[in-house]
Amino acid sequence: MTVIVSSQEARALVRDAPGFTDAVESAVARLSPVASLNELLDLGPCVYLDGGECQVYASRPDACRACHVWHDSLHCGRQDFDMCTPAELNQLRLQHMGKRMLEEFARGRRPFRGYLLPAVWLMSRRLDDYLAGADLRATVAQRWRQTDLLEFPTEEALRREAAELEAVFRDEYNPMGFPRAARARDRRLLAAFDLRT
């Protein structure tokens, strides 16, 4: 529920798993008018899980790919489980998300990012508008934007973030507290992370 995805990743889920639209709609409908991260957590495990198995494995977002290099899908949605990933792996994921969002700007689209459920819900409802280059901010309830469940960064902001990420990891400074991959038990797991193009 707390996986953050880009608009491109949301579009892939809408395209590749249309049968889950009702489950996403139902989960999003249960968010109260004061929607918050805690309310997302209260919704329980991911709607794409069935018996601990990911039903959209081929189209899963990079955040899931990064976590599951270290943990399997049985840990999805468990509030008592620390889903941390090595810093270098998290850097790859964030850089890739930013790069794809900048590519969307270059295609004349207005990308967004957000938590899995709201992002997929928005994309499923407004896919044609998004592909036509519409700015979907006006279609999003303010309560979601205020709680950062959905964000619409500018192109300039994405470029700044990319530069900041590069500096953070170049200088070995990591404010998020993720463990360095050098301290991981097996660096081969890091190399196994497959960033899609």
Q: Is the pTM of this model over 0.85?
A: no
How far is it, in rounded angstroms, from Cα 192 to Cα 44? 29
How far is it, in rounded angstroms, from Cα 68 to Cα 60? 10
Mean confidence (pLDDT) of the chain: 78
pLDDT in tens, 11-70: 999 999 888 888 888 888 887 666 566 777 777 778 888 887 888 988 888 888 777 555
Q: 121 or 94: whose pLDDT is higher?
A: 121
Task: Phi first, then psi: give them for residue 114, nearest 5 degrees.
Answer: 175, -175
DSSP classification of residue 178 = P
How far is it, in rounded angstroms, from Cα 73 to Cα 14? 20
Q: Which two tokens stand for residue 28?
A: 């999003």
Q: Which two tokens stand for residue 20?
A: 């889950």
How far is it, in rounded angstroms, from Cα 67 to Cα 83? 6
**DSSP code string of 109-158:** ----EEEHHHHHHHHHHHHHHHHTT--GGGGS-HHHHHTTSEE---HHHH
pLDDT value for 160? 93
Strands (E), the chain: 4-6, 49-50, 53-54, 113-115, 150-151
Task: Phi first, then psi: give them for residue 153, nearest 5 degrees.
Answer: -70, 150
pLDDT value for 11? 95
